[in-house]
Structure 1
Amino acid sequence: MQDEKMSFIGIVGNSTKNMAFYMIKEIFIKAGFSSIYSNDNDSIIILKSKRDKQIGLINIMPKDLKSILNLNLNFNIVVYTNVGQEERIDDDILKFFSSLKNVVVLNIDESNCINLLKGNDKALVMTYGLNNKATITASSLDIGNSIAFNYCLQRELLTVFHDKIEPLEFPVKLNLIGKENIYNSLAAISVALCFGVDINTIRKTLIEIKGLERNMEKIYDNKFMIIDNKCINPIDYNLTFETVQHLKYKSIILLNGMGIDFGNDNLQKIIDIILNWSSILGIKNISFYIDKKAELIEEDIRKMFSNTNFSYNVFFSLRDSIGYCLEILNDDDLLLIMGNDILNGTKDILLKELNQYG
């Protein structure tokens, strides 16, 4: 039997690094909870308040829903966070959502979300999104090098303690990049309000969040800006560029990292995407950092750029590629770092280099 002092919050999404999950955790810590347990990959975190109340946060991948269902946990709140990712609704997903009896928070801008609750007449559904049909939405959006909007609760909300929250609106600012973080923060704020967290605590927490590693991570933002985003396929590159077009900068220096597993087909598609976006975004130079084991890629890159006048360089040293990018970077420029795991560790090198520059 579930301990009455323990509440459970499930966050369902396609990423092991779920920003909504991270935001919720940080809000509760700011509200006075402490972390008393986390598993190896931080997908399960137990928080404890000074009054001995405990909250279990579980970041749930769709493939794990069957296992979670077998635990028979009584979730107080489940959030479905998928943003812009079509998820096939299989039997395990339907069984999980049909079993829920308490609050379910759904992104109404996802086409499949309502189908998740077919046959479930027990759950209390809260929807969030950027259309006026959502229970929770955002108004007065200002998306650029940071994000500002008004959180709007459009109907009465019942907390897990059965207290009523009347419709309300308050301003929120995020030191983050990307429209998806509006969705993430709408979900996180809603969960926090359901647990009675003070609005000022929520707002202070969100403005201090710097983002997750290699997830449109803003590494530096002073004379110029440096952003790092992990990209493993052509779709990731397009999505990154779509986000970047809302930022304010003069020109882009692009550092692209590719390991031995990239493949020629992916390389051609990615270079085509970069060249297609180059004039729109103002990309003035691309530096390719290549794994020494994949040095044949250098010749492929040369052939792909042979009919262009585009400025590019190829490096086999990560430190050298970073040094060159910093050397040609001007005030108000953007250094955009994109690529797979070969670029892990870039942040540490960059921060050391920036400290030397002063």
Structure 2
Amino acid sequence: MFHNSNKLIMINLSKINKIHFIGIGGIGLSAAARILNQLGKEVSGSDAVESEITVQLEKEGINVFISQEADNVPLKADLVAYTVAIGEENLERQRAAELSIPQMTYPELLGLLMAGQFGIGVSGTDGKTTTTAMIGKIFLAADLDPTIVIGSKVDYLGGNSCLGQDKYFIFESDEYKKAFHNYQPQIAAITNIRADHLDVYKDLEEIKSAFAYYLKKVPEDGLIIINNDDANSLEVISDVKAKIITYAIDTDADLKAADISYEDGRQKFKVLRNNEVLGEVRLIIPGRYNVYNALAAIAVALAEGIDFSVITKALADFKGAWRRFEKLGDKNGTEIITDYAHTPEGLKQVIKATYEFYPQNRILFVFQPHQYNRTKNFFDDFVLALKTAEDVIITDIFYVRGRENPDDFDVNSKFLANQAGVAYGGNLTETEKLLKKKIGDFDVIMLIGAGDIYNLAKDLLK
């Protein structure tokens, strides 16, 4: 069930045959479209621009319109689903209303898809995509057959989702616009809680309240997995009903990582459960933050009875998710890597991890700030994060369609670069010209951001 125009609507997915998706190129909505297509539903969708995702959906037999026009909506559609960024003024939503076609957001649809299943949701400001991907890989390695929905593409799925046949529904539980309030998982894992999305949340306290409400929905026989090193996470579990399992690096916890080190292009660490060593984990992806992500995934897997040897084997060749420390290739001896980090803490962690992984190399960081509101609200924090790197170029701020406020347009990347003491590259075309002049001076170029900087990373390899 869901709310539509202040009316409570009951939806039985088994009776839904034709579904249209507005914003189908979105990483979440595309996953739902793929699953429903695999369930035999007649699926269509639209997006403003063509992308790798829309091209892949078309290859899978989904009709995708690269425009958003009223005529795209099938006359006999049973349901229209849309991303939370799509407003009522959208032409396709208006046509659906004229045709009296029920409409729901992606989070409402995802909640409907997982109804009656054993939900395993991963939430947090940073790390939820990678942690969800790790859990999915571990469960598949254990010969389980879960449904998986990830906020990125991963190699082992060939996309961002898969339809399984057993009880498990592993999904990324996003906090944006309180999307996770549509879900009631049996296991909820929290990576960390920080201030973000201040275009929809008033402050950190409101964010913590949203997490607390979500965790109260986990049933008494459920499980909450929490980062014991994250003070904000600990504040939101005081009134929960479910059992709590903690993980940590720095503090005592039920599950703990120790002796973290790098060796032969990998990071390794020991895992202790109740202060007893379970064994060693090796990762080919760098960063202390990925140790935390792995601990959360290990905690989930152990709780479901998966053997530690299966867990370590699955994690040993886990390549990460699309745009998460993704090594794209080599250009004349310079390695090109891209990462999705877009918060100040995420940016700082990726910079640190890159230096740790390439201690003897010359590294150039290229950062595209994501959203004017985020850049303005966390301007000082971004300055501090950027100052942790030696060589940086900042591109213009990525404009997030449907999520910008003109009141925030008084911030710009040129001023950010000046305050951080780094280079300003201009738009992506100008930045590409600058990079092509500099590429021979560096062993590694790390391009960071959640916008279209990924296209620049690919262009460098041409």
Specify the code of the residue in structure 2 equivalent to 1:344.
Y
- Listed as ranges, the matches of 1:113-192 within 5 Å are 113-120=233-240, 122-143=241-262, 146-154=266-274, 167-192=276-301
Q: What do residues 171-196 of structure 1 show as CA deviations (whole Å, max 9, x unaligned)?
A: 11111122111111011112112222
Q: Which residue of 1 aligns with 2:224?
A: 104
Q: 1:46 to 1:193 in 2, by over 3 A?
A: farther
- Listed as ranges, the matches of 1:122-271 within 5 Å are 122-143=241-262, 146-154=266-274, 167-220=276-329, 225-232=335-342, 236-247=346-357, 248-257=359-368
Q: Which residue of 2 aligns with 1:60?
A: 173
Query: Are residue 327 (structure 1) and residue 444 (structure 2) matched?
Result: no
* CA distance in 1 between partners of 2:243 and 2:218 (Å): 12
* CA distance in 1 between partners of 2:244 and 2:423 (Å): 52
Cα offset, 1:11, TM superposition: 1.7
Maintained 8 Å contact 1:176/1:218: no
**Partner of 2:183: helix, strand, or coil?**
helix
Q: 1:128 to 1:304 in 2, by over 3 A?
A: closer
**Partner of 2:139: helix, strand, or coil?**
helix
Q: What do residues 28-54 of structure 1 show as CA deviations (whole Å, max 9, x unaligned)?
A: 122223465759988886533xxxx32
Query: Are residue 343 (structure 1) and residue 462 (structure 2) matched?
Result: no
Cα offset, 1:217, TM superposition: 3.0
**Which range moved further: 32-41 or 175-184?**
32-41
- After superposition, the CA RMSD in angstroms is 4.4
Q: Which residue of 2 aligns with 1:8?
A: 119
* Residue in structure 1 matching 2:129, options 18, 25, 37: 18
Specify the code of the residue in structure 2 equivalent to 1:105.
I
Maintained 8 Å contact 1:237/1:273: no
Maintained 8 Å contact 1:148/1:171: yes
Cα offset, 1:58, TM superposition: 2.6
Q: Which residue of 1 aligns with 2:209?
A: 90
* CA distance in 2 between partners of 1:113 and 1:299 (Å): 32
Cα offset, 1:17, TM superposition: 5.4
Q: Which residue of 2 aligns with 1:163?
A: none
Maintained 8 Å contact 2:369/2:396: yes
Specify the code of the residue in structure 1 equivalent to 2:120.
I
**Partner of 2:246: helix, strand, or coil?**
strand
* CA distance in 2 between partners of 1:217 and 1:318 (Å): 20
Query: Are residue 78 (structure 1) and residue 188 (structure 2) matched?
Result: yes
- Which structure would you say has the larger RCO, counting Cα contacts within 8 Å and 6 or more residues apart? 1
**Partner of 1:326: helix, strand, or coil?**
helix
Q: 1:27 to 1:299 in 2, by over 3 A?
A: closer
Q: Which residue of 2 aligns with 1:158?
A: none
Cα offset, 1:7, TM superposition: 2.6
Cα offset, 1:200, TM superposition: 2.7
**Which range moved further: 28-37 or 102-111?**
28-37
**Which range moved further: 258-267 or 336-345?**
258-267
* CA distance in 1 between partners of 2:301 and 2:291 (Å): 15
* CA distance in 1 between partners of 2:413 and 2:299 (Å): 52
* CA distance in 1 between partners of 2:371 and 2:233 (Å): 38
* TM-score, length of structure 1 as denominator length: 0.68
- Listed as ranges, the matches of 1:269-284 within 5 Å are 273=384, 276-277=387-388, 281-283=389-391
Aligned residues: 314
* CA distance in 2 between partners of 1:106 and 1:271 (Å): 26
Cα offset, 1:68, TM superposition: 1.8
Cα offset, 1:117, TM superposition: 3.1
Cα offset, 1:336, TM superposition: 2.1
Maintained 8 Å contact 2:334/2:444: yes
Q: Which residue of 2 aligns with 1:160?
A: none
Unaligned runs of 5+ in 2: 1-113, 154-159, 196-203, 400-410
* TM-score, length of structure 2 as denominator length: 0.55
Maintained 8 Å contact 1:259/1:290: no
Maintained 8 Å contact 1:232/1:340: yes
